Every structure is written in C-alpha cells, then in structure tokens.
Amino acid sequence: MPTPAPRPFLERLPGSGRSLGAIAAGVAALAGGLAAFGGDVLMVVAALAGAAAGFVAGEIWRGTAGPETDATPPSPIELPPVRAPRPVPSRAPELTAQSLMDALPVPTIIVDETFVVRHANRPARDVFMALREGGPIALATRAPEFARAIEAVLTDGKTERVLLHERVPVERRLDASLSPLEADGGGVGAVLIVLHDNSERDRLAQMRADFIAHASHELRTPLAALRGFIETLQGPARNDAVARERFLGIMGSESQRMSRLLDDLLSLSRVEMRAHLPPTGEVEIVETVREVIESLAQIAKAQGTEVTLDAAVGNRMIRGDHDEIVQVFVNLIQNAIKYGNKGGHVRVTVSDIRSGASAWVRVAVTDDGPGIAEEHIPRLVERFYRVDDKSSREKGGTGLGLAIVKHVVTRHQGELRIDSRLGVGSTFAVEFPLDESK
Amino acid sequence: MEHTVKSYEAELVQLDQKLSQMGGLVERLLGDAFASLERRDPRLASEAIAADQAIDSLQKEIEELAISMIARRQPMAGDLRLIVSTLKVAGDLERIGDLAKNIAKRSLAVASESRPQSLILGLRHMAELAMRSLKNVLDAYMTRDDEKALKVWRADTDIDALYNSVFRELLTYMMEDPRNIGLCTHLLFGAKNIERIGDHATNIAETIHYMVRGKPLVDDRPKGDKTSVTLIDNDPGERN
C-alpha cells in the first residue's frame, strides 16, 4: 500500500527524556512564536513548556525536599518541629507527548518527515474533520504554502509561520506556527504545528458589513410602504374611517414583517458566526420534534392544517446545539404549514438511515401543497431567494428561513434534502449523523 | 525534503504526494478564481492565472514518474491500477485548473461592469458546491475511500440542477435588459465552467472507485444538465 506504515514515533517518547526534552523545547520555541496570538494562549503554552522541562529534570511530580529541620533552636513555646512535607508519590498518569498535546486548548498536530500525521489533539480534529492519525497531513489542508512551510522546517530546522485561508467546508482563516522537533539521532524528526483560528475576528467584520447591507436593503421596501400609508392617513384619508382601518391593518402586518426580518437576520448572523465551531451540546431528536410541533399548534390551527408526527424510532441523540436544532424544525414545519394548502396535512417523519458505516437520523417534513418548480429547488437555500416574491411577502416570509436551516445543518455535519413535485407536495428532510458514543 | 528514490514504496508515496500537491494548487486556483470574479479583484485574478503553470508542470512530473515506474517496475494488479489512476486524476485536475483559470480571465473582462450583486449569488452557490466536491474527492483519493468518492459522484446532480437554474436566471436577465448581455454571457460561461469542474470531480470519483474496487462503475453517471434543451418564453409574467 502506498500509505507508509506508521512509524512508532510517539511510542518512543514516554520513556525517553531526550525526546521529551525535544518536545519541551519545541513547545517553548512555540511560546515565542505564539506571542502575537494573545496573552492567555502564550501563558498556557509557556506553563506547559515549563511543566515538560521540569518533568525531564525529574522534579515536578515528586515535589522538592525542603531544608533540614533538626537544628531548630529551642523556642519559648513547645511546638512540634516543622517538617518538610513528605514527598507524595505522583498519581499523575505517565506524561507522554500525547497527554501533553491533548491538554493544550489550541489545535496542535505533529507531522513526521514523510508528511504523515503522528498525533492531532481534539481541537485540531475539530478544525480539520478529515484529519486522522497515520494519514497524510494533506487531509487537513492541501494549501500549497502549508506544505512548503513543513518542508522548510524539516530542512532548515527553523520555525515557520503561515496564514491559511480555507474556503470549504466553511470559510476560515488560520494562523499556523510550525516548529521543528529533534529526532533521536539529531536533525529534525518531525514538525509541531500549532494553529490559531482567526475566523471569528474576520467573520465578525464581514458579518457586520453583510448585516447592514441586507438590513438596509430589505427594510427599505416595507419602510417606504409604511411612510406612504402614514402620509395618506395624515392627508387625503384623514377622515376616511374605512381606509384608516384597512391601512392600519396593512401597516401592522408590514411592521411585523420588519421585526421578523430583523430577528431572522440576527439568527442567520449568529449561526454564520459559529459556522466554523463544531457544536458541543447534545440534542435528543424525537422529543425536540414533538415539542416544536406542540409549540406550532396555534399557527397550524389558524390555517386549519393538521400536523402529525410519525416517529418509528426511540430516542436519537446527536451532537448539537439545542436552540439551533429547534430553529431548524420550527422553520421547516412552519414553512410546510404556511406554504402548504389551507386545511392540508403536514406529516413529520423521524427515521433511521445507514450510510456505509455511519448511522444517521432523518427528519422529513412533507406537505400536500402546490409544490415547487424544479428550477427553484437548488436555489431555495440562498438568502432572500424567493420562488414567488408576492406570495412569500403576503405570508410573512423573510427569505431567510431555509438559509438559516442550511447553515445550521452544515454546522452539524448534516444534510438538507429537498424533494418536490408540482401539484403533489414537497418534502424537506434534514439528516444528522448520530452521536455514536450514546 | 530531497526525494531520493529509495524504493518502489517510496516512489508510490512520492506519486501520492505530488498528486496531493497538485490538488492543493488546483483547489487554491479555483477558490481564487471565483473570489476574483465575485469581488472584482483583478490582482487576485492575475495571480490565479499565473498559478496554472505550476499545475501544468506538476502534471508533467507525475506523468514522467508514472510512466517510468510502469516501465521499470512493471507493477501488477492494485499497484498498476493505482499508478494508472494517478495519471487519470492528474489529467482531470489539469483540466479543472484550466477551467478555473478561464473563470479568472473572465473576471478580468467583467471587472469594470456594474452589476447587481444578486446575479452572482447563484454562481457563488455553484462554486461552493464544486469546491466542496473537489475537496471531498481529493480526500477520498488520499484515503482510498470508495464510499466518499461515490458521495461526490452522486452530488454532481446538485451542481447540474443549480446550473440549470442559474442558466434560466441569467437568460431572463438578458431578456429583461439587453445591456446585461455582455456581463451575463461571461457569467454564463463561468457557470458552465463550474459545471464542467463538477463533471471532472465526478470523473475522479469514478477513477477512485476503479482503483479501490478493481472494476469500473457500471451505472451511467448522473447527468442533470438540461440547458442544451432549455428555452425561455419571453413572457414577463415568468419572473418572480
């Protein structure tokens, strides 16, 4: 096989003070490189470097013996002599390069001289989903300057720093510091890579710009309508009771739409902000769907629509953000009620699917509405894309509901599938990978 | 790192590394090319156009290495499939590079045209799908992951469906206002290029399947491009 057999690079480390010393030196070297990243990261790394160095010197886990206490001069009050604390045997696990790296809160990767990943801590695997130990570093990123930097560290033994700009699956900017790790026989045996994610900072700036652009553009129309009605009410229709009633009704619904639009823009911004961070919580799907359906009962009743839940499975846990998942189901079911037929039927189905070795849970929302023409289907998740502008506005749509769904689903490593036939109805299905540890 | 050829194994690893390097360059080129179109950035476009040379020369290196390996080592079965597959994948990557370069060139041509931002949204969506397919199929290649490759293979219908939709949208803009024709034609070709890039990613997926399984994919490739038979009625009621 072309993939080289993993060399026991790390396995050598635990017993070997020399190699650990090299790691400590590498971490210490990084501390310098990380200075620009900000204070707390620097401190953590510096502390770890100290810890590793201390371990090599055989000091920190055993405690230090204090000065001799036998020669204490007699004191007026008899007190038991002060003794140095007895050395406590360490209960700490054996310190390995792995445990050191796993303790680091920043994404950290070790790559050997054949560009194979020897170790990647949890934050690193969260950043690069495809990354795996024993696999090529190219699974993390194939950015040309990254490979060049690794090569430079391996040849020159100097530290390198690269800025990475990833575009898929989510856009992010990473600042990578690369330092040499000394091999047993001298020379550079591996490269220690520490990453700092700058996406959030850049994204914030981008998000503000987008938010203002969209808000000002989308709010302009309803605002103009409101002003028009107000002017009419102040002028020609001042004493027209019938027109006043009608105009106030329209003004009410327009202003409601404006506030919904702002809500949706804010949710979308929030979701986009976190797009590069994997969700940390746990969500049980079936119960969540049930709760959402109950919360929408009023809206369904007003439309005369019946919403039924068909859950053929028991509890299904996924790794996810509860509020975001709730919003996905709210948006999908609300859409089905809104765009389905009045007095129609919305069916929500929860089922298991298997894809190769992985298990997924699928939630499908099916309506018996008019359906969506084929050419619109792939575009529905684009923000402000509307199949029918007029009908969407009448129904209070903001053009953002499915964009939010798509973003949440992507952040959760899931899939959104849309199936629709004109005159028959539409099915919007979301699929999430199950948390296999549950 | 100096790649002194030590063994057959080392040569196979080297072949993989070169292909991964080439993949990285193509991914970067595609991303930059589309970004230059979206942000009207002529400098980025020129960089992208220049980057295509490195891709071409890597392809030549891969070809030379692969051919010399076949001649000297006379590989059998899996190894032979691997080497031949690398050749094919390198060919597809080179084509993707060319198509991406073409997008960058078009972005130079339309940099000064005014345009509504909404026109580029559909294209952006297409480009995202294509970049994702390219990344996934290259990951699948590195890990010999047949299943992941098949996912990319199936996902190509999404790009095709999007292309059909963007095609209709751009045609409608052109009919609405003839002043849009210049810009929209360039965008239309850009969309076609992205659609073709999706097809090449599908080719790579097929190659991976052959490499891993030893037999070709028998199904017909999912095809969803209907634009060759699309006409739009000049009916003002059509636009929403």
CATH of the domain at A98: 3.30.450.20
- pLDDT for position A57: 42
Handedness of CA A120, A124, A126, A127 (dihedral sign): negative
Question: CA of B239: which chain A residue's CA is closest?
Answer: A388
- Give dist(CA A409, CA A414) in Å, integer: 5
**pLDDT-based confidence at residue A217 (cuts at 50, 70, 90):** confident
How far is residue A178's CA from residue A192's CA, in Å, rounded to a whole number? 6
pLDDT of residue A30: 52
Query: A378 vs B158: CB contact, 8 Å cut-off?
Result: yes
What is the predicted pLDDT for the residue at A310? 93
Per-residue pLDDT reduced to its tens digit, A39-55: 444 444 444 444 444 44
A133 Cα to chain B: minimum distance (Å): 12
Inter-chain CB proximity A142 and B27 less than 8 Å: yes
Domain that includes residue A147, residue range? 17-64+85-197
A426: β partners: A420
Per the CB < 8 A criterion, the answer to whether A318 and A432 are in contact is: yes
Which of A165, A197, A229 is at the close of a domain? A197
Residue A60: inside a domain, yes or no? yes
The confidence band for A319, taking pLDDT boundaries of 50, 70 and 90, is: very high
Q: Which three-class secondary structure state does DSSP give residue A354?
A: strand
- pLDDT of B89 above 60: yes
Angle between helical axes of B118-143 and B181-213 (0-180°, round to 10): 10
Residue A63 pLDDT > 90, yes or no?
no
What pLDDT is recorded for position A45? 45
- Claim to verify: residue A48 and residue A166 sit in the same structural domain: yes
The b/e string for A408-434 (b: 16+ C-beta within 10 A; e otherwise) is bbbbbbbbbeeebeeeebbbbbbbbbb
- State yes or no: pLDDT of A292 exceeds 90: yes
Instruction: Give the mean model confidence (pLDDT) for residues B54-67.
Output: 96
Q: Is the pLDDT of residue A113 over 50?
A: yes
Tell me how far apart the alpha carbons of residues A130 and B183 are, in angstroms, rounded to a whole number: 38
Indicate whether B103 belongs to any domain. Answer: yes
The answer to whether residues A239 and A168 belong to one domain is: no
| A306 in any annotated domain | yes
Percent pLDDT > 90 in chain A is: 36
**Dihedral pair phi/psi, residue A166, rounded to 5°:** -95, 140
* Residue A78 belongs to some domain of the structure: no
Q: How confident is the model at residue A1 (pLDDT cuts 50, 70, 90)?
A: very low
For residues B42 and A221, which has the higher predicted lDDT (pLDDT)? Answer: B42
Model confidence at B88, pLDDT cuts 50, 70, 90, reads very high
The closest CB to that of A167, out of B21, B131, B168, belongs to: B131
Question: What's the pLDDT score for residue B216?
Answer: 86
Letter for the amino acid at A107? P
Q: How far apart are CA B113 and CA A378, in angstroms?
A: 27
Maximum pairwise Cα distance, chain B: 70
Q: Do A144 and B161 touch (CB under 8 A)?
A: no
Beta strands in A188-249 (DSSP E): 188-197
Q: What mean pLDDT is predicted for residues B219-232?
A: 67
Residue A436 has pLDDT above 80, yes or no: no
**Does B233 touch chain A if contact means CB atoms closer than 8 Å?**
no
Residue B1 lies in a domain: no
ipTM, 2 dp: 0.82
Does A59 have pLDDT greater than 60? no
| Banded model confidence at residue A11, pLDDT cuts 50, 70, 90 | very low
Tokens 């559909």 belong to residue:
B122
CATH number at residue A216: 1.10.287.130
CA atoms in the 13 A half-sphere facing the CB of A313: 20
Please indicate, yes or no, if residue B234 is contained in any of the structural domains.
yes
Question: Contacts of residue B132 in chain A, CB cutoff 8 Å?
Answer: 168-169
Whether residue A135 and residue B143 make contact (CB cut-off 8 A), yes or no, is yes
The number of distinct structural domains making up chain A is 3
Mean pLDDT of B44-61: 95
Mean pLDDT over all residues of chain A?
A: 80
Task: For residue A406, give the nearest of A398, A415, A397 by alpha carbon.
Answer: A415
What is the SS3 assignment for chain B?
Answer: CCCCCCCHHHHHHHHHHHHHHHHHHHHHHHHHHHHHHHHCCHHHHHHHHHHHHHHHHHHHHHHHHHHHHHHHHCCCHHHHHHHHHHHHHHHHHHHHHHHHHHHHHHHHHCCCCCCCCHHHHHHHHHHHHHHHHHHHHHHHHHHCCHHHHHHHHHHHHHHHHHHHHHHHHHHHHHHHCHHHHHHHHHHHHHHHHHHHHHHHHHHHHHHHHHHHHCCCCCCCCCCCCCHHHCCCCCCHHHCC
Structure tokens at A71: 């020669």
Report the pLDDT value the prediction gives residue A438, as an integer from 0 to 100: 52
Asked if A167 lies within 8 A of B31 by C-beta distance, the reply is yes
Q: What is the pLDDT of residue A431?
A: 95
Indicate if A284 and A146 belong to the same structural domain: no
HSE-up of B216 (CA within 13 Å, CB side)? 5
A387–B165 C-beta distance less than 8 A: no
Does a structural domain hold residue A365? yes
On the question of pLDDT at A313 being above 80, the answer is yes
Residues A134 and A214 in one domain: no
Q: How many interchain CB pairs under 8 A, A with B?
A: 95
- Is the Cβ–Cβ distance between A330 and A292 less than 8 Å? yes
Domain assignment present for A293: yes
Per-residue pLDDT for B228 more than 90? no
pLDDT for residue B26 is more than 50: yes
Q: For chain B, how many structural domains are there in total?
A: 1
Scan residues 129-158 of B and list those with Cβ closer than 8 Å to A.
131-132, 135, 138-139, 142-143, 147, 158
Q: A226 and A243: one domain?
A: yes
Domain that holds residue B52: 8-238
Of B1, B21, B118, the CB nearest to A155: B1
Domain boundary among A216, A244, A277: A277
pLDDT band, residue A276 (cuts 50/70/90): confident
Indicate whether A382 and A438 sit together in one domain. yes
**Residue A155 domain flag:** yes
Whether A381 maps to a domain, the answer reads yes
Task: State the CATH number of the domain containing residue B112.
Answer: 1.20.58.220
Report yes or no on A327 lying in a domain: yes
**Is the CA virtual torsion B191, B194, B199, B202 positive or negative?**
negative
Res B175 pLDDT > 80: yes
DSSP state of A4: P
Domain presence at residue B62: yes
CB contact under 8 A, B240 and A139: no
Q: Show residues of chain A in contact with B12, CB under 8 Å.
A: 2
Peptide bond connecting A169 to the previous residue in cis, omega within 30 degrees of 0: yes
Burial bucket for residue A238 (CB in 10 Å: 0-12, 13-18, 19+): exposed
pLDDT at A71: 52
- Answer yes or no: do A386 and A321 share one domain: yes
Residue A189 to residue A183: CA distance in whole angstroms: 4
- Where residue A378 sits, what CATH number does that domain have? 3.30.565.10
**pLDDT tier for residue A426 given thresholds of 50, 70 and 90:** very high
**A141 Cα to chain B: minimum distance (Å):** 8
Query: Would you say residue B2 lies in a domain?
Result: no
pLDDT digits (tens, 9 = 90+) for B90-141: 999 999 999 999 999 999 998 887 776 778 888 999 999 999 999 999 999 9
Question: From edge to edge, which strands make up the β-sheet containing A117-120?
Answer: A117-120, A108-112, A188-197, A172-182, A160-166
Distance of CA A192 to the CA centre of its chain: 24
Cβ neighbours of B228 (radius 10 Å): 6
Residue A340 Cα, gap to closest chain B Cα (Å): 19
User: Which of B13, B15, B162 is opposite residue A4, by nearest beta carbon?
Assistant: B13
What is the per-residue pLDDT for A36?
43
Tell me, what's the pLDDT at A275? 83
Considering Cα of A291, then A297, then A299, then A305, what sign does the dihedral take? positive
Cα(B38)–Cα(B40) distance, integer angstroms: 6
Is B23 in contact with A143 (Cβ distance < 8 A)?
Answer: no
Q: Do residues B29 and B105 make contact, with C-beta atoms less than 8 angstroms apart?
A: no
Residues of A numbered 375-404 whose beta carbons fall under 8 angstroms of chain B's beta carbons: which are they? 375-379, 381-390
Report the distance separating Cα B52 and Cα A178, nearest Å: 27
| pLDDT average, residue stretch A152-157 | 92
Cross-chain Cβ contact B138/A142 below 8 Å: yes
According to DSSP, the β-strands at A282-284 and A317-319 are antiparallel
Q: Which two tokens stand for residue A22?
A: 């090299």
Domain termination residue (choose one: A227, A249, A277): A277
Work out the mean pLDDT of chain B and round it to a whole number. Answer: 88
Distances (CA, A) of B209 to A142, A254, B159: 22, 55, 21
> Which chain A residues in 349-368 lie under 8 Å from chain B, judged by CB atoms?
355-356
Which residue of B165, B195, B197 is the best one to mutate when testing the A interface, meaning the one whose CB has the most A CBs within 10 A? Answer: B165
Q: Does pLDDT of B188 surpass 70? A: yes
Most A-contacting residue of B18, B22, B28 (CB-CB within 10 A), to test interface: B28
Would you call A375 and B168 a contact, using CB atoms and an 8 Å cutoff?
yes
Which percentage of chain B shows pLDDT scores above 70?
A: 89
Query: Which of A419-428, B136-145, B210-219 has the lowest average pLDDT?
Result: B210-219
Q: Is B46 a member of any domain?
A: yes
Residues of B within 8 A of A146 (CB-CB) are: 24
Give the model's pLDDT for residue A32: 47
Give the pLDDT confidence score for residue A51 in this predicted structure: 44
Please tell me the predicted confidence (pLDDT) of residue A172: 84
Residues 6 or more apart whose CB falls under 8 angstroms from that of A114 comprise A4, B13
Which residues of chain B from 172 to 231 reach within 8 Å of chain A, CB to CB? none
pLDDT score of A175 more than 90: yes
Q: Which residue has the higher pLDDT, B36 or A395?
A: B36
Q: Looking at the structure, do residues A128 and A56 belong to the same domain, yes or no?
A: yes
* pLDDT for position A114: 87
Instruction: Place A180 in a pLDDT band, splitting at 50, 70 and 90.
Output: very high
Residue B74 belongs to some domain of the structure = yes
3-state secondary structure of A31: helix
Spatial separation of the C-alpha atoms in residues A149 and A168, rounded to whole Å: 21
A140-154 mean pLDDT:
92
Tell whether the model's pLDDT for residue B67 goes beyond 60. yes
- Looking at the DSSP bridge assignments, the partners of residue A162 are A176
Both tokens of A203, joined, read: 């994204």
Amino acid at B23: G
pLDDT above 50 (res A127): yes
A122 with A146, same domain?
yes
pLDDT at B220: 64
CB A110 within 8 A of CB A192: yes
Residues of chain B in contact with residue A155, where contact means CB-CB under 8 angstroms, are 1
Residue of A nearest to B137 (CA): A139
Q: Which pLDDT value is given to residue A60?
A: 40
